[in-house]
Amino acid sequence: MSDLLSGGAEAAAGLAVHGARAIDEQSPASVRRALVADGVPGLLARKDPTLWGPEAEPAAAAHLGWLDTFHRSRELLPQLAELCAELGDLDHVVLCGMGGSSLAPAAMAATLGRPLTVLDTTDPGQIRAALGDRLDTTVVVVSSKSGSTIETDAQRRAYHRAFLDLGRTPEEAGRHFVVVTDPGSPLVETGLEMGAFVIVADPTVGGRFGALTAFGLVPAALAGVDVAELLDQAEEFAASLGGEDGNPALALGAAIGAAATAGYSAVALVPDGSGLDGLGDWAEQLLAESLGKDGLGLLPVVVDSPDEPGATGLGVLTVAYGGSLGAGAVPGGGIGAQLAVNGPLGAQFLAWEFATALAARVLGVDPFSQPDVASTKAHTTRLLEALPAEQPAFTDRALQVFPGRAIQVVPGGTIQDGGLADVLRTVLDAGDYLAVMAYLDRHDDAEIARLRSILADKSGKPVTFGWGPRLLHTAGQFHKGGPPSGAFLQLTGVVSDDLAIPGRPYTFGRLQAAQAAGDRAALDGRPLLRLHLTDRTAGINQLVTAAQAL
């Protein structure tokens, strides 16, 4: 019998977690038993804000609404039906939103096969391409809980100008926008001034826990997802949350907490091939921002398919996820997973949220804060004013090499004039994991994402890949707040056709460059290497070839 099957199963409302017991047994003392002995599942289900200590209590008291937001979200359904009818002629749905304001609806649309264009970038080429795509039939959902996220604001400005340039009057342009934000955020007023449809979200739910609030449901419904079904799935599952047995979310949370205490350093999120596309990206933010702080947490590694390198490894908790298992189906889809989480998407959201909150309790961290995200934002704001010119240490054809301060002090790893392979080897050797952070166009430069699996294969270490600046709202918190064991490979690229941001003194290209530089400043002191692609296509080829030759 596989470990997964021998690890036991726990199921409720069509969602099953396999293998959790075996992970719990690896911990010095059973995490699950301790959670149950302290009555934590019941307390959490009843929204007890004291579970993460006195410092976390005020934020927790304000942010536990996700436990039953599926009830309140039903009030949105008539409004959503009206909106879909009213905007029926606008069938190209673009979602501008970062992190918790886009990852859940992206997962819903991908899983349920509905088209949704998610724009969570500042890359000028990618934005320009989006602006040129079916504009006359586009509805733009501008989603931001705070209403002040710089990327989302810039995208809103660019789209508004594009509609005016198309010949729409300001009033007609407003009809192309749906704003989702918290009550009282500056975006409420901006949206109303623009003549947009403004939908205020449940303020008792924090960003990354907001899958089943307006942030998840509005764009998904516009894209054609049956969101009422997701709420039904969550509601049915919620009945299991407070229990001591038959509680898959408890099993998952205890297993993640046990893994962290048993010496695991990473959690690989692996689709088992049965659907639920995009859930890994969503769970990455949930785990990274909720647990990756105070030097603790597990590195989430998003893997695209079960056979990719990095899905398993030493110190890696491999979690397979997928839709509900049919009769006789093998959990984990046949990969070497230690945990398998199978069930409908609405239940998955709630299960992972509950499990993450439990794991935070085990680690002793506040699940509702993201204390290290602010540092990059502050550096970016400063650097937008004046971006210092930097000199490469050396240039290798289409790649300029900029080693950070810490990379040169790695024993035996000093970079001198030399080949790209040496450079890659140096940065790979410099940490227990490598984060590849690409401030590039995720469509035109998509090939670069192959680096993750190539470098994972060559090094045997956990390697993550993120598109900047999106990653600043997902794994970025872990990079800066988690264990200081990472090495960082930042990729930036030449901008051949920059794009203005209406009403701002900087362009998208400058914003993108300032965000990359801001994150370098926030990561200063950690091993970081930047490669700048002076020709994007040639640079990507060069890099992929060098990585393959390692």
Ligand X SMILES: O=P(O)(O)OC[C@H]1O[C@](O)(CO)[C@@H](O)[C@@H]1O
Q: Which parts of this chain interact with ligand X (CB under 6 A)?
A: 98-101, 144-146, 149, 152, 207-208, 289, 370, 373, 473
Minimum separation from the CB atom of position 145 to ligand X (A): 3
Minimum separation from the CB atom of position 187 to ligand X (A): 9
Nearer CB in complex with ligand X: 99/333? 99
Nearer CB in complex with ligand X: 141/373? 373
Nearer CB in complex with ligand X: 52/264? 52
d(Cα 275, Cα 271) in Å, to the nearest integer? Answer: 7
d(Cα 481, Cα 485) in Å, to the nearest integer? Answer: 11
d(Cα 162, Cα 479) in Å, to the nearest integer? Answer: 36
Q: Do residues 233 and 267 touch, judged by C-beta distance below 8 A?
A: no
Q: Do residues 297 and 264 touch, judged by C-beta distance below 8 A?
A: no
Nearer CB in complex with ligand X: 162/373? 373
Nearby residues of 360 by Cβ (< 8 Å), 6 or more positions away: 52, 290, 291, 366, 367
Distances (CA, A) of 217 to 101, 210, 355, 414, 503: 11, 9, 22, 50, 30
Minimum separation from the CB atom of position 503 to ligand X (A): 18
Which pairing describes strands 486-493 and 528-533: parallel, antiparallel, or unpaired? parallel
> CB nearest ligand X: which residue?
100
Nearer CB in complex with ligand X: 24/289? 289
d(Cα 542, Cα 169) in Å, to the nearest integer? Answer: 47
Which residue, chain included where needed, has tokens 């035109």? 444
Nearer CB in complex with ligand X: 207/333? 207
Nearer CB in complex with ligand X: 103/528? 103
Minimum separation from the CB atom of position 376 to ligand X (A): 9
The first and second tokens of residue 253, run together, are: 């949370």
Nearer CB in complex with ligand X: 126/144? 144
Minimum separation from the CB atom of position 182 to ligand X (A): 8
Give the ranges where 364-464 is alpha helix by DSSP (H): 373-385, 420-429, 450-459
Minimum separation from the CB atom of position 278 to ligand X (A): 15
Full strand arrangement of the beta sheet holding 92-96:
117-119, 92-96, 138-144, 177-181, 197-200
Nearer CB in complex with ligand X: 291/430? 291
Minimum separation from the CB atom of position 270 to ligand X (A): 23
Minimum separation from the CB atom of position 361 to ligand X (A): 20
Nearer CB in complex with ligand X: 138/369? 369
Minimum separation from the CB atom of position 380 to ligand X (A): 12
- For the stretch 455-461, contacts whose Cβ atoms lie closer than 8 Å and that sit 24 or more positions apart, written own/partner, are 455/424, 455/428, 455/547, 455/550, 456/308, 456/309, 456/310, 456/313, 457/309, 457/310, 458/428, 458/547, 458/550, 459/428, 459/434, 460/313, 460/314, 461/313, 461/428, 461/431, 461/432, 461/433, 461/434
Q: Which helix (H) or strand (E) segment is 436 a member of?
A: strand 433-439
| Residue ranges with strand state E in 170-245 | 177-181, 197-200
Minimum separation from the CB atom of position 146 to ligand X (A): 3
Q: What is the dihedral of CA 317, 318, 323, 325, to 10 degrees?
A: -100
